Structure 1
Amino acid sequence: VDGGLETIALQLPAIVTTDLRLNEPRYVTLPNIMKAKKKPLDTVKPADLGVDVTPRLKTLKVSEPPKRSAGIVVKSVEELVTKLRNEAKVI
């Protein structure tokens, strides 16, 4: 979710939708936009398809991710290795 993490558990069958940022959007050309304006748009209600759209989700908790701390500028490779070894304990 925007600015955080959402974990859900659900029973199958299920429909999962995603945000536009999952993939790069396609850019439509102007001629295709003009063609789409001329096409009729059929409206179908969910009840006509036998679909129940009542909400079944309950939000338990929403929290923001922890704030990131500022980075540190090091002047040499030796200082970087020392900080990684002693402070971050990653090597």
Structure 2
Amino acid sequence: DEEVQSLEAAKLLKSVVEKEEPKLVILGKQSIDSDNNQTGQMLAALTGMGQGTFASEVVVEGDKVNVTREVDGGLMTVALNLPAVVTTDLRLNEPRYASLPNIMKAKKKPLDSMSPADLGVELAPRLSTLKVEAPAARQAGVKVADVAELVDKLKNEAKVI
């Protein structure tokens, strides 16, 4: 179900990207509800744009963007042609609060409102949940006094060694 939600979100974003034609689309890394980390990659695939994921630094230079990300061995930088999709990491920036004058200015700016139908996207559910049930209850474990007793039980009762 989470994949369907991510795909629907990506389809909506694709329509917005086609309408607005941005050079750089910046998305969060993952959602707080399902924690899937899929929407940015799906959007990149649907639009044919290059993608940089888990960005901790983004530098735009002309018609290219360099995206630095943390990997197991340190840092990796990928160079992408614009337009591109970038998903962020929490190290990308330090959040700041908007000042009161800027909040007042933002209230006066026009806000475009679109429905999925305006973008040619249908959000009708395609999946239905037939049944939800709890998993079978686990049997109680067994405490052993020492390693020798554990090895004995594994050999003779469980027959796994």
Is 1:83 the counterpart of 2:153? The answer is yes
Letter in 1 for 2:133: S
Alignment of 1:8-87 (within 5 A): 15=7, 19-20=34-35, 22=36, 26=90, 31=96, 34-35=97-98, 38=103, 42-87=112-157
Gaps of 5+ in 1: 2-9
Once the 2 structures are TM-superposed, how far is the Cα of residue 45 of structure 1 from its aligned partner? Answer: 0.9
Partner of 1:7: none
Letter in 2 for 1:15: L
Q: 1:43 to 1:77 in 2, by over 3 A?
A: same
Once the 2 structures are TM-superposed, how far is the Cα of residue 74 of structure 1 from its aligned partner? Answer: 0.7
Letter in 2 for 1:19: S
Question: TM-score, structure 2 length as denominator?
Answer: 0.35
Once the 2 structures are TM-superposed, how far is the Cα of residue 16 of structure 1 from its aligned partner? Answer: 7.3
| % identity of equivalent residues | 44
Q: Give SS of 1:73's match.
A: coil
Q: Give SS of 1:67's match.
A: coil
Greater RCO (CA < 8 Å, at least 6 residues apart): 1
> What CA distance in whole angstroms lies between the structure 2 residues aligned with 1:79 and 1:66?
28
How many pairs does the alignment contain? 75
